[in-house]
């Protein structure tokens, strides 16, 4: 039923991939020989060729992110040019493009809406790949695509190497005295009969010191190490921007932002910039009030020049004083297994889906594998890898492996996906205890996963997250996040791992009240990142200095606090230089408008755990995947167009 995760033959992947790609090209050539092409005899088998390649390649690229080693890097680097060249060749094949166009023209009446959407997307993407260009231009694009893939991977690898290269050793207990016991336990080690503490740039360790570290000097040391990681990425950014600009000019676009929007819900560049600037304008007044409140609080500590590396430390103290909220108090109530099991109970209650753990093989002993069933029928599989490791890329993400579809022989294929996070590690003596923010992250990534796994669209090219416009792909993930602040939901799993005591109403109320603490500052920060990304791709910035000047100008206008001049945030901005968010980082806020407005239906119903509404959401949004445009699906769900005010209200920015 499901393909097992197996990379025992990893080192031979290059040869296996070469064989697979050769046979795929042969299959496509055979399909092109069909005289009377139809959707069934051409598009379906063509779609299946793509699925078989994804089936093989995804684990190879995935393993490099979660079990990074010299071998995985070598295999990645060997396979990347093969897959990049193959994809470019196929996407520039004018015969495939014309075949799809012919089927679209002659079968318009007999095709169903989902098939029409597949053809519409594919024909658009072929045009965007340059299939209409002459051979010289196609060859140039092929080289550009390969170089960009290599640079993107190098960018991410540089960050991982820099993250792993740094250690801050502390011997004086005074410098760590405020750090929570569970974090301190992970940092502690014995050396020559002395107890010492080691902090790294791995996210759980970095957050522990920047949030609770008593020594301002040490906070700056670790902040500086984090914000100056991978300086060599400055030159890679120059190269990426130059190549992207070259690529889109060949394709007939004025800039990369215009090219990026051709597959998104936002209509044009002005709409995106105006949307972001409007958000910034509405959030800034309150954000400045929030920063003044923080400065006033820090002044009690005789600190009159608050810096970026003080923000987390004093924000945590202020939050604790304001809401009597101590993050560390909650962690024993959010033990990883308890959270997972309670989360599954919640998903079963609202979406009527059941998670059953299996002993299927994965890449690490701490990775758990579950089959998902609905009405007693197994419909999907998910791999969940939650704990931070040295050989694992930072951050959190969902990666789709297989899509749901029905093949040309009528066989049903079930979807699979991976969720990866970097939560505190478990040890022999301490289980993995999460912060509430980790719980929110888990809900977020599961939102993505369910969007992919609950799809029942029979066409792989628009099933699950395939074919979903990038600026609305965050809608289901952010929507699910809101439930992590609901009292009824939290009570399903917030249980003390030693006593089994359920988190009290009073303690949960504090989390809910503190949800919008510094939400305007957070909104401004996201707008800063999004405007920097979008404007960076509206014209060609040729040097590191030009890139820095753009970022400085945006900060000057919108940031509530200016970071130190050594901060090189851009060199670690892997979303846009190592991932798929270039000229698309605005998507987080764009999609948040949809998710906040959708969540308001539940609030207005008077019952957040409303299974009737949740099933409607599942059937309308999740099951349809990318088979319909999200604005149409949103209207089907809510009977209205989304409003920015819902987001501002839910974030407490307006009342």
Residue numbers annotated as active site: 445
**Beta-carbon contacts of residue 354 (< 8 Å; ≥ 6 apart):** 344, 348, 372, 373, 374
**CA nearest to 311, candidates 588, 160, 517, 478:** 517
Six token digits for residue 285 = 């007044």
What is the 3 state secondary structure string of 141-171?
A: HHHHHHHHHHHHHHHHHHHHHHHHHCEEEEC
Helix axes 587-604 and 269-299, enclosed angle (nearest 10) = 80
Among candidate residues 563, 630, 541, 635, the one with its CA nearest the CA of residue 590: 630
User: What string of DSSP letters covers 361-388?
Assistant: --SSTT-EEEEEEETTEEEEEEEEEEE-
Find the DSSP H helices in 300-335: 308-323, 327-330
d(CA 655, CA 653) in angstroms, rounded, equals 7
Find how far residue 601's CA is from the centre of its chain.
25
Give the whole-angstrom CA distance, residue 33 versus residue 259: 33
Q: State the Cα–Cα distance between residues 627 and 49, nearest whole angstrom.
A: 20
- Check if the beta carbon of residue 597 is closer than 8 Å to that of residue 647: yes
What is the distance between the alpha carbons of residues 262 and 128, in angstroms, rounded to a whole number?
Answer: 9
Structure tokens at 67: 């079990």
CA distance 212 to 534: 34
Query: Residue written as tokens 């130190």?
Result: 564
CB 442 within 8 Å of CB 421: yes
Q: Scan for tokens 């890679």, then name that residue.
A: 236
Nearest-angstrom CA–CA distance, 491 and 342: 9
């Amino acid at each position: 039923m499901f393909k097992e995760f197996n990379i025992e033959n990893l080192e031979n992947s290059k040869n296996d991939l070469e064989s697979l790609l050769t046979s795929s090209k042969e299959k496509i050539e055979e399909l092109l020989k069909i005289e009377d092409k139809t959707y069934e005899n051409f598009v379906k088998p063509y779609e299946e060729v793509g699925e078989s390649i994804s089936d093989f390649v995804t684990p190879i690229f995935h393993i490099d992110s979660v079990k990074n080693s010299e071998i995985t890097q070598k295999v990645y680097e060997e396979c990347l040019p093969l897959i990049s060249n193959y994809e470019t060749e196929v996407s520039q094949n004018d015969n495939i493009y014309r075949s799809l166009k012919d089927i679209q023209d002659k079968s318009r009446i007999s095709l169903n809406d989902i098939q029409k959407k597949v053809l519409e997307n594919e024909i658009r993407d072929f045009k965007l790949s340059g299939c209409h260009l002459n051979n010289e231009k196609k060859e140039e694009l092929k080289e550009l695509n390969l170089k960009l893939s290599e640079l993107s991977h190098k960018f991410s690898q540089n960050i991982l190497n820099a993250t792993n290269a740094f250690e801050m050793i502390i011997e004086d207990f005074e410098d760590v005295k405020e750090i929570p016991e569970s974090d301190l336990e992970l940092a502690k080690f014995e050396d020559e009969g002395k107890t010492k503490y080691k902090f790294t740039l791995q996210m759980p360790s970095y957050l522990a010191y920047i949030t609770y570290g008593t020594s301002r000097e040490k906070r700056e040391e670790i902040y500086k190490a984090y914000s100056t990681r991978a300086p060599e990425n400055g030159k890679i950014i120059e190269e990426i921007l130059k190549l992207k600009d070259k690529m889109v000019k060949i394709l007939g676009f004025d800039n990369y932002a215009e090219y990026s929007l051709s597959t998104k819900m936002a209509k044009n560049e002005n709409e995106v910039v105006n949307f972001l600037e409007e958000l910034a304008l509405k959030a800034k007044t309150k954000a400045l009030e929030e920063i003044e409140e923080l400065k006033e609080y820090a002044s009690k500590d005789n600190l009159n020049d608050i810096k970026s590396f003080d923000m987390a430390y004093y924000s945590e103290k202020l939050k604790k004083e304001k809401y009597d909220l101590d993050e560390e108090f909650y962690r024993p109530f959010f033990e990883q297994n308890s959270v997972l099991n309670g989360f599954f109970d919640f998903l079963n209650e609202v979406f009527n889906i059941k998670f059953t753990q299996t002993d299927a093989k994965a890449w690490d002993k701490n990775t758990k594998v579950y089959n998902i069933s609905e009405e007693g029928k197994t419909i999907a599989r998910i791999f969940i890898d939650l704990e931070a490791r040295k050989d694992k890329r930072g951050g959190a993400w969902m990666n789709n492996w297989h899509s749901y579809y029905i093949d040309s022989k009528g066989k049903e294929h079930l979807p699979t996906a991976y969720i990866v996070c970097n939560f505190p590690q478990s040890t022999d003596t301490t289980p993995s205890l999460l912060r509430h923010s980790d719980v929110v992250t888990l809900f977020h990534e599961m939102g993505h996963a369910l969007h992919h796994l609950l799809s029942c669209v029979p066409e792989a090219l628009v099933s699950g997250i395939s074919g979903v416009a990038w600026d609305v792909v965050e809608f289901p993930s952010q929507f699910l996040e809101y439930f992590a602040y609901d009292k009824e939901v939290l009570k399903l799993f917030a249980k003390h791992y030693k006593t089994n005591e359920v988190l009290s109403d009073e303690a949960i109320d504090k989390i809910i009240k503190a949800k919008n603490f510094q939400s305007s500052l957070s909104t401004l920060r996201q707008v800063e990142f999004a405007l920097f990304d979008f404007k960076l791709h509206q014209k060609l910035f040729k040097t590191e200095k030009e890139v820095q000047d753009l970022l400085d100008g945006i900060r000057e206008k919108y940031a509530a606090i200016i970071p130190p001049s050594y901060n090189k945030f851009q060199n670690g901005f892997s979303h846009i230089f190592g991932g798929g968010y270039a000229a698309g980082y605005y998507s987080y806020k764009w999609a948040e408008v949809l998710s906040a407005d959708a969540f308001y239906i539940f609030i207005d119903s008077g019952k957040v755990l409303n299974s009737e509404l949740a099933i409607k959401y599942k059937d309308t949004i999740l099951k349809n995947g990318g088979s319909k445009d999200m604005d149409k699906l949103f209207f089907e769900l809510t009977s209205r167009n989304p409003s920015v005010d819902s987001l501002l209200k839910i974030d407490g920015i307006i009342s």
